[in-house]
Copies of this chain bind each other. A is one copy, B any other.
Amino acid sequence: MSVLIVGSTALDSIKTPKAENPRLLGGSASHASVAASFFAPVKLVGVVGEDFPKKYLQLYKKHKINLDGLQILPGKTFHWSGEYEVNMNNRRTLATELGVFETFNPVLPKSYQDSPFVLLANIAPALQSHVLTQMRRPKFVVADTMDLWLNIALPDLLKLLKRVDGFVLNDSEAKQLTKEDNLMVALKKIHKLGPKYVIIKKGEHGAILSSPKGMFVSPAYPLPRVVDPTGAGDSFVGGMMGYLSTANGSIDDNLRRAMVYGSVVASFCCEGFGLNFTNKITRPAIEARFKELEKLTRF
């Protein structure tokens, strides 16, 4: 089955202690869509400007991502630039130019409206809601977010949370949202906001799922070298939703394995700038790392 993914489609200029890379393909929808494409057909919803490089459209097409929902508008593509500190854990935003995103009004093509799996990747929660409203009875809807929306669009986010099945956020966002330092307690509080499935991402420490069938402590793939973690969280949810949409059985049966597949794609993402490394991987490489994670965690 197919996955509809809405989110940001951007150009990222990323500085790390070792290198500087201007105008890479980035954005939550780009990372999530490529990650999901290794498992399932993807329908992308987004907007770019007329300056959007053709090679990036070709990259989407190489991964058979349906672009009927990608608007190309007069103006500039959303541009983010940021810098990572030595340990790659802290990053700061140097500049954000919204460009065509400022007036983005996602309108779903008819062929998109029946997608059974919907990933509302990180983007303003009002836009996430607007896309969801255009869907016909999707089977499973997951939203991701970021601290920015907790700060400037919390009422919108809280409205959205009542309408989704799953919600994904990182540990510091979970603490901020619930004003609670203990993640077990935070999970309970987030369930009360609506979602049946809550996933807290912990970066290099993996992720935790809280669901009707109990909790799952998901591992991260240990990497000896992190080149650029931008998009790792988006790759995680993208890979997860891609796998989920093609697996037989119930969501509860498959979500744990889906999270581990998400972790695997996220690990590849960290090994190159932007999508440079993820772009080159294959399904067998994903399967090999999945098996490694099975071995790494068995006791």
Interface residues of chain A, those whose CB is within 8 Å of chain B, are: 86-88, 181-185, 202, 205-206, 208, 214-219, 222-226, 256-257, 259-260, 294-299
In whole angstroms, what is the CA distance A182 to B294 when docked?
A: 22
Q: A205-B202, A299-B260 are in contact. Are A185 and B215 (CB under 8 A)?
A: no
**Which of A182, A183, A202 has the most B CB atoms < 10 Å from its CB?**
A182
In whole angstroms, what is the CA distance A298 to B182 when docked?
A: 23
A-B contact pairs, 11 of them (CB 8 A): A182-B224, A183-B222, A184-B224, A185-B225, A205-B205, A214-B296, A216-B296, A217-B219, A217-B222, A218-B299, A259-B299
Closest to A188 in B: B224
Q: What's the nearest-Cβ distance from chain B to residue A217, in Å? A: 5
Contact (Cβ within 8 A) B222 A184 = yes
Contact (Cβ within 8 A) A87 B181 = yes
Q: A202-B205, A256-B298, A299-B260 are in contact. Are A222 and B215 (CB under 8 A)?
A: yes
Contact (Cβ within 8 A) A295 B184 = no
In whole angstroms, what is the CA distance A259 to B88 when docked?
A: 29
Contacts A205-B206, A217-B222 given; 8 further ones with Cβ under 8 A?
Answer: A86-B181, A182-B223, A182-B226, A202-B205, A216-B297, A218-B299, A219-B297, A259-B299
- Copies of this chain per assembly: 2
Closest to A185 in B: B224
Contact (Cβ within 8 A) A297 B295 = no
Contact (Cβ within 8 A) B223 A296 = no
In whole angstroms, what is the CA distance A294 to B223 when docked?
A: 24
Contact (Cβ within 8 A) A296 B181 = no
In whole angstroms, what is the CA distance A214 to B291 when docked?
A: 14
Q: What's the nearest-Cβ distance from chain B to residue A261, in Å? A: 10
Q: What's the nearest-Cβ distance from chain B to residue A236, in Å? A: 15
Which A-B residue pairs are the 10 nearest by beta carbons? A256-B299, A205-B205, A184-B224, A87-B181, A217-B219, A217-B296, A257-B299, A184-B222, A217-B297, A260-B299
Q: What's the nearest-Cβ distance from chain B to residue A204, in Å? A: 8
What chain B residues lie within 8 Å of A208 (beta carbons)?
222
Closest to A260 in B: B299
Q: What's the nearest-Cβ distance from chain B to residue A268, in Å? A: 16
Contact (Cβ within 8 A) A182 B225 = yes
Q: What's the nearest-Cβ distance from chain B to residue A62, in Å? A: 30
In whole angstroms, what is the CA distance A217 to B226 when docked?
A: 18
What chain B residues lie within 8 Å of A225 (beta carbons)?
182, 185
Closest to A182 in B: B224
In whole angstroms, what is the CA distance A222 to B134 when docked?
A: 39
What chain B residues lie within 8 Å of A217 (beta carbons)?
206, 219, 222, 296-297
In whole angstroms, what is the CA distance A142 to B86 when docked?
A: 32
In whole angstroms, what is the CA distance A214 to B185 when docked?
A: 34
Q: What's the nearest-Cβ distance from chain B to residue A250, in Å? A: 15
Q: What's the nearest-Cβ distance from chain B to residue A41, in Å? A: 25
